[in-house]
Amino acid sequence: MNDTPVVLSVEDVTIDTRPAGRKPIVRNITFDVREAETVCIVGESGSGKSVTSMAIMGLLPKDSLQVTGGRILLDGEDVLKVTPARMRELRASRVAMVFQEPMTALNPVKTVGDQIDEVLRLHTKLSAAERRKKVLHMMERVQLPDVERIYRSYPHQLSGGQRQRIVIAMALILRPRLLLADEPTTALDVTTQKQILRLIKELQEEEKTAVVFVTHDFGVVSEIADRIVVMNRGDLVETGTRDEILTRPKEDYTRMLVSSVPSLVPRCDPVPKNPKVMEVIGLAKRYGKKGFTSDSTVLAAQGISFTVRKGEITGIIGESGSGKSTVARCVMRLTEPSEGAVVLNGQDIVPMHNLRAVRKQVQYIFQDPYRSLNPRRTIGQSLMEGLVNYGVPEKEASRKAAETLEMVNLPAHVMNRYPHQFSGGQRQRIAIARAVVMEPSLLIADEAVSALDVTVQAQVLRLLEDIRTNTGVSILFITHDLRVAAQICNTIVVMQRGRIVEQGPARDVLAWPTHDYTRALIDAAPAPDWDFQNFRPVERAV
C-alpha cells in the first residue's frame, strides 16, 4: 500500500470561525489517503469530522468558517490556494461528495436523470444523446432497477436507498480521484446499507478511487476501513489501521468510543406476565390509489397482532417499507387503521372519536427532535404545554417539567432556553422528557436514536431503561438497528412487507432466528461477528 500514489494529503489543517475565536474549532489535522484506499474519519458529534470534509471540498461557509493553517493537497495541488473557478473544475471531475441526506442534496423540482445529466453538461462537451447514454449506464452500475423509468422520476418518487444511489451516481459519473462520503448510510436500514457499502467498494475497486468516509457507525467502519482517523472536539486523537484501532486502541477516548458500540448479543430477558398495557389484534392498513378503482389499494400492514405488557420494551424491526412506522402511527391513531383492534388498558381505541384520553396515555418520541420541538417556544413551555392543556395549574406544570428535566439528566435552569441552544443528544432528552412528563402508560419511540452518535446513543438507551425502571412505563421501540434492539428490547417483532414474520423474546429471535428474513437482517448488520465492547470477534449461535 505504501507504494500506492497519495491522492489526498491533509497537512496540519486548522479551521477557525470568522472572525477568529478564542480557540480554532479544528486544530492541526494531518492524514493521507492513497489510491483505492478507504480512510474512515470517526468521532462524536462536534468532533470536527464533517467540517474537515467540507474544507477538503472547498464548501466551508465563507462568512463564518475559514482554514487558517495547513495545506490540503489533491494529487499535489493545494486546493486552499486555487481560484473559485478552478475549485469548481475540481469538484465532480477530481473530487466529489456524497451527503448524508439525499433528499436535501437533490432538487425536488427536477427529475433525477436531469440532475445527473447536469454534471456532464457542466463539465464535458458530450452531446445530449451521449450524455443520456452515459447517465443510463451509470444508473445501471449503481444497481437501480428500470433505469428508463427512474431517469424520468422525481426524488420524492424514489425510496431512500434509490435516492442515495442517485447521489452516488452523480458523484462518480466523472470518475473522480477522491470521493468524500459524509454519513451516507446513517438513515438506511441494514440491507440497503449493506448494498450501498458494497456498491461503493465495487466502484472504488474498478476506478481506483480514494475514499474518505465520515461516520459514527463502527459497524460500517469495521467492514470498509483500511485505516481510521479518530477525532475529538477538533483534535486528532489517533490514527491506525482498522485492526489496530478496533482491537488495540491506544487512547482512552478511542477505547470509550469503540466500546460504546452496542453488541448484537441480546441483553434483556422477557418481562414477567405483567398486565397487558396494549394488545394489537388483526391490525391492517390499506391506502387507496387516486385515479384507480375503489378496490385498487396498497396494503401497508396486514394481520398485525402483538402484545405490550407493563414495563416491557417491545421492538418492531424491519427494512424501510416493512410497515413498522405505519403500525406505530395506527397504534397512536395518527393514522386510521383499516381494520383490527388496538386495546389500550382494556379499551379498544379504534372506534373512539374523542381521543383526548388516549393522547395522554400514549406519547410519541420522533426520530428528529429538532423538527418535533417548536423553535419559537422555550423548553419549559414545550414541556408544560401538554400538562396545561389537560388542566394542570401552570405553577404545578412548571414544577413537574423541572422534575422531569432532572430525570433525563438536564438541569432545571435550562427551561428558559430554546431548542437550537442544545446538542442533538440533549434535544432528544428534551423530547423524551416532553413525552414522560404526561405520565403515559405507553411510549412509542420511532427511530429515536438512529441519528445519534454511539456514545450519545448509549446514554439515551440507558435513559429509556432508567425511565422504564422508575416509572413502569411500557415502550414500543421502532428501529432498523438490530444492535440497538438487542440492547434494550425484551421482545422483538420482525416485520416484512406489512406482515409479522417472527416474534418472541429478544434473546430467542436475535440469537436463534427461525425465519429466513430475520436471519438475512442479522447477516446484513455491519460486523455481526464483532464484539466491540471487548475489542474482539465473537462467535454467534447457529
Q: For residue 372, give Cα distances in angstroms to 100, 176, 404, 440.
A: 20, 38, 18, 18
CA distance 98 to 252: 31
CA distance 244 to 227: 9
pTM of the model: 0.78
Tell me what pLDDT residue 320 has.
76
Tell me what pLDDT residue 540 has.
52
Alpha helices in 356-446 (DSSP H): 356-361, 369-372, 379-389, 394-407, 424-436
CA distance 542 to 539: 9
Q: How far apart are the first and last CA of the chain?
A: 37
Domains along the sequence of the chain with CATH:
6-260 (3.40.50.300), 310-336+352-524 (3.40.50.300)
CA distance 459 to 487: 12
Map 334-363 to HEC letters.
CCCCCEEEEEECCEECCCCCCCHHHHHHEE
Look at residue 499 and give its three-state secondary structure.
strand
Exposed (0-12), middle (13-18) or buried (19+): which is 269, by Cβ within 10 Å? Answer: exposed
Do 462 and 409 meet the contact criterion of CB atoms below 8 Å apart?
no
Tell me what pLDDT residue 528 has.
67
Burial string for 305-328 (b: 16+ CB within 10 Å, else e) reads ebbbbbbbbbbbbbbebbbbbbbb
Within 10 Å of residue 536's Cβ, how many Cβ atoms? 10
Backbone conformation region of residue 489, classed left if phi is above 0, alpha if psi is from -120 to 50, else beta: beta
Tell me what pLDDT residue 477 has.
95
CA distance 258 to 509: 26
CA distance 54 to 48: 10
Do 456 and 45 meet the contact criterion of CB atoms below 8 Å apart?
yes
Spell out the per-residue pLDDT of the chain, length 542, in tens: 468 899 999 999 999 988 877 889 999 999 999 999 999 999 887 788 889 999 999 999 888 899 999 999 999 999 999 999 999 889 878 999 988 777 778 999 999 999 999 999 988 899 999 999 999 999 998 888 899 999 999 998 887 778 888 998 998 898 899 999 988 877 677 777 888 888 888 888 888 999 999 987 788 888 889 999 999 989 999 999 999 999 899 999 999 888 888 878 888 889 888 999 999 999 999 887 555 444 557 788 999 999 999 999 999 998 877 889 899 999 999 999 999 999 999 999 999 988 888 889 999 998 777 778 899 999 999 999 999 999 999 999 999 999 999 988 889 999 999 988 887 778 888 999 999 999 999 999 988 887 677 777 888 888 899 999 989 999 999 988 888 899 899 999 999 989 999 999 999 999 899 999 999 888 888 776 677 777 777 655 44
Residues in the chain, total: 542
- Please, which residues bridge with residue 210 across strands? 178
Q: Which residue has the cell 438536564?
A: 410
CA distance 206 to 451: 31
Residue 491, all three cell numbers: 421482545
